[in-house]
């Protein structure tokens, strides 16, 4: 999906739910409502959250929420749609490319990438949790993740994987999607476990945990050292 069609899709959803996507024009009350909604949605989920509780936490009248966002779902989408747009651009594309563009060994690149993604998850965990959980129940959120984030990530990653293959940093015999799936599953599982069940999953110090993941990844996707097989007879034929 092109950037233009993505923007059009966002504004189509925005018009449907009467969302103001220009953060600079939001009032202090609206910002307080959004901040309160992040906490309440993250703690109780969309179904368990109430607009009255969000209003109380924001210090505004419940009618103010309906005035600006019309419905509870409108408020949810106002939080999630811009967040997905930020995730796809500044949170995913730019930092990852900046790391992978460095002239460093694969091991160092992977270590730096994991540290950077861990920081991202920790700083934005409540919003990320809302996106992941509510995408199961709201097709608008799933569509945003699928058509923009997923496609954007795959396209960006495929180009970078090919570049790293040509530089001899990745195995040329592995398909791009296999490398991408392997890296994302290892890093994603670590980030998810670190935030959801750290007491069960984290068995060592943070740096040690990351090194284990790097070791596992490098062992699978890095080019294998080539050994020269000398021809010759090992013994007499009988």
pLDDT tens string 153-168: 788 888 889 999 999 9
Q: Which of 10, 176, 158 is nearest to 80 (CA)?
A: 10
Q: Taken in order 105, 121, 197, 181, is the CA torsion positive or negative? A: negative
* pLDDT score recorded for residue 207: 85
Where helices occur in 49-175 by DSSP H, the ranges are 51-58, 62-69, 72-86, 94-100, 106-123, 125-134, 139-144, 151-166
Residue extents of the structural domains in the chain: 3-221
* pLDDT score recorded for residue 122: 84
* pLDDT score recorded for residue 17: 47
What six digits make up the tokens of 86? 């930020």
Confidence of residue 88 (pLDDT cuts 50, 70, 90): low
| Residues 38-42, mean pLDDT to the nearest whole number | 86
pLDDT tens string 115-136: 998 888 888 788 788 888 888 8
Statement: residue 3 has pLDDT above 70: no
* pLDDT score recorded for residue 46: 86
* pLDDT score recorded for residue 226: 59
What six digits make up the tokens of 153? 């990530």
**CB of 141 within 8 A of CB of 80?**
yes
CATH number at 3-221: 1.10.357.10
Query: Scanning the structure block, which residue is given the tokens 């997905």?
Result: 84
Instruction: Return d(Cα 216, Cα 55) in angstroms, integer.
Output: 47
* pLDDT score recorded for residue 128: 81
Q: 202 by DSSP, 3-state: which?
A: coil
Q: At what angle do helices 176-196 and 106-123 cross, to 10 degrees?
A: 40
Instruction: Return d(Cα 164, Cα 172) in angstroms, integer.
Output: 9
Average pLDDT, the chain: 78
* pLDDT score recorded for residue 148: 64
**CB of 148 within 8 A of CB of 84?**
yes
Instruction: Return d(Cα 104, Cα 119) in angstroms, integer.
Output: 21
Query: Scanning the structure block, which residue is given the tokens 């005035």?
Result: 67
**Chain centre to alpha carbon of residue 45:** 19
């Amino acid at each position: 999906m092109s950037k233009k069609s993505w923007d059009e899709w966002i504004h189509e959803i925005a018009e449907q739910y009467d969302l103001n996507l220009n953060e600079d024009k939001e009032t202090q009350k609206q910002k307080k409502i959004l901040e309160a909604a992040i906490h309440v949605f993250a703690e109780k989920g969309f179904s368990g959250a109430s607009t009255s509780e969000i209003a109380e936490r924001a210090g505004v009248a419940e009618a103010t929420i309906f005035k600006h966002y019309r419905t509870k779902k409108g408020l949810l989408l106002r939080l999630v749609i811009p967040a997905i747009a930020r995730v796809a651009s500044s949170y995913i594309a730019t930092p990852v490319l900046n790391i992978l563009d460095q002239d460093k060994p694969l091991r160092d690149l992977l270590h730096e990438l994991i540290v950077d993604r861990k920081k991202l998850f920790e700083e934005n965990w409540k919003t990320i949790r809302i996106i992941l959980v509510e995408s199961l129940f709201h097709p608008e959120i799933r569509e945003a993740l699928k058509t923009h984030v997923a496609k954007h990530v795959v396209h960006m990653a495929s180009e970078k994987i090919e570049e790293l293959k040509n530089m001899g940093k990745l195995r040329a015999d592995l398909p791009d999607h296999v490398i991408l799936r392997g890296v994302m599953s290892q890093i994603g599982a670590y980030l998810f476990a670190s935030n959801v069940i750290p007491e069960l999953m984290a068995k060592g110090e943070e740096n040690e945990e990351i090194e284990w993941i790097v070791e596992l990844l490098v062992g699978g996707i890095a080019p294998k050292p080539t050994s020269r097989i000398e021809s010759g007879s090992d013994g007499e034929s009988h």
